[in-house]
Structure 1
């Protein structure tokens, strides 16, 4: 086994609005795990929410935790039951471990496992560090043409793949998406990859609409300036990537009878819906909980160039600048996706 350091540098959330750069032990390998030298980590809105409030719903930070879950890197050591030939592999990390024994795991819905441990959600450490461990089969090989930043983007692309699968998008589908942030734009690109002939995206921010128009959508609209009645019963499926109750309410009547609504964005605890309309049209409403069996598809979409992730990346920071990276989406109106690169120093590229 390759010799690895006993300690590593990590950005540790100690409480809301407090992150410390610490030296911590390199995590110990389990028999079926690999140790990954982290090369790139995408900043997710959930990381920012944990940083600002110390919780997301019933997920509460009760002690120090390393945030981050959109990662890629190089395998530098393996557990006793993992082939040594995996050392040196470039991998995109699926950031969860599951029990593999419950009914959900056995039927292939392992993302619903009651014992799931998701990276960067207390008490499970995440990826804003020099190294991380992951189950061997959740370290997905990347083709040589994929960069580490592209590998880290396999996680948000997986969110989109899972949503598009739940929406049953296929050739000729007409799709409405609300929210043109990174997840909304990736949903648009994946929807087109799955055959959607029309993808309309709604967002109040002009810069996001312009970006979306260059990345997969057929039309970008301003909800404040749009009469949604023109789309009555027009769309086969609707994906919300905003979590905004008003956006969802305005979108539901645009779904045709027998259509599907998929809620991806995290909003409030409760939501009012036009139940009579949904019943009469037999509209299916579902949510998404992360992803399941999506990494091979996400890697293929990115590595083939079918989904463009490079243009979403608008900033890069080292581990010493994680706090700034977490807030970049709020402090810079032109920011789309920020990367943390452990190998960068404090004077990171902006």
Structure 2
């Protein structure tokens, strides 16, 4: 194996280059992964467009990409599993393991967490990455490399559905039919939801929601009835969508905020008078094995969400895919 690799780097908003950098070497407790697929996330696009997401700001060139699959190509000292040659889905976060949040099992809330493609931590638009061995999750042959990369956004949906405690018979409203919304729809169905409604202002996305099993689709611009709702999974972070989602609730419903947005207001009169349970989500923890099992069972269709493939030289095209093609759902970079 060569000691150099090619890496796609965001130099500044709307300017990508491909560089040659040293191949990273795994340390104690780490594995090196030869990257096979990286699916593009909305956060990657946001950094490309603006160079920041909220308080996370680029101050130096950044390697994007965090939805990653590959093959273990080398292991560090003390690592027995996963062994070299194992296909894995990469959980792209490294926590300190010593703080109160880590001790309580909430490692995704570790104040010192390092997350791929979140400044200043480089991501996986590269040929090789190094991660803690415990964050390289073996995947079965039933999952393609593309599907294994999308275990990461599926983990977001699994974590959100767990926060909502969706069970058999639940009436669920998913606000937003982007990739995470479509995954939340499928996870809700897999958990036994009796009826799932999906709202999105884009007709093609509403069509996609139907394809992925939505019982009802709605255009938020029209005065349509959402119907009784026990659980809301709000996947946009947009004020108008949040207002619609909260208004759709029945008393004692749970509203889970999945989408990331700027400051918004909440109708506290409804939150209080209906005794709504309002929950935030931030990434995920302890859900990769469940997400992998769910995808391998066929209950969630990941490959069907892939709409284009790109090499490292086409990483910028992957980031622009959704802007150029209204039917695009997931672009995948194959280093």
Mark yes or no: TM-score above 0.5.
yes
Work out whether residues 170 and 230 of structure 2, in 8 Å CA contact, stay in contact via their aligned partners in 1. yes
The residue that corresponds to 1:10 in the other structure is 7
The residue that corresponds to 2:212 in the other structure is 215
Ranges in structure 2 where 5+ consecutive residues have no aligned partner = none
What is the number of equivalent residue pairs in this alignment?
335
The residue that corresponds to 1:264 in the other structure is 258
Among 10, 29, 34, the alignment partner of 2:31 is 34
The residue that corresponds to 2:162 in the other structure is 165
TM-score by length of 2: 0.98
Aligned pairs for 1:164-203 (under 5 A) are 164-203=161-200
Structure 2 distance, partners of 1:314, 1:218, is 23
Among 102, 111, 115, the alignment partner of 1:114 is 111
Among 41, 44, 47, the alignment partner of 1:44 is 41
Structure 2 distance, partners of 1:290, 1:65, is 20
The residue that corresponds to 1:337 in the other structure is 330
In the alignment, structure 1 residue 314 sits paired with structure 2 residue 307: yes
Question: Tell me, what secondary structure is at the counterpart of 2:186?
Answer: helix
Structure 2 distance, partners of 1:104, 1:85, is 26
Question: Tell me, what secondary structure is at the counterpart of 2:16?
Answer: strand
Structure 1 distance, partners of 2:90, 2:314, is 22
Among 226, 232, 235, the alignment partner of 1:238 is 232
Structure 2 distance, partners of 1:137, 1:226, is 48
Q: CA deviation at 1:216?
A: 2.2
Question: Tell me, what secondary structure is at the counterpart of 2:221?
Answer: helix
Aligned pairs for 1:82-93 (under 5 A) are 82-83=79-80, 86-93=83-90
Q: CA deviation at 1:282?
A: 1.0
Structure 2 distance, partners of 1:239, 1:303, is 24
Structure 2 distance, partners of 1:227, 1:85, is 50
Question: Tell me, what secondary structure is at the counterpart of 1:14?
Answer: strand
After the TM superposition, which segments of 4 or more aligned residues of structure 1 sit over 6 Å from their partners?
Answer: none
The residue that corresponds to 1:346 in the other structure is none
Among 251, 254, 258, the alignment partner of 2:248 is 254
Give me the CA root mean square deviation: 1.1
In the alignment, structure 1 residue 98 sits paired with structure 2 residue 95: yes
TM-score by length of 1: 0.94
Q: CA deviation at 1:311?
A: 1.0
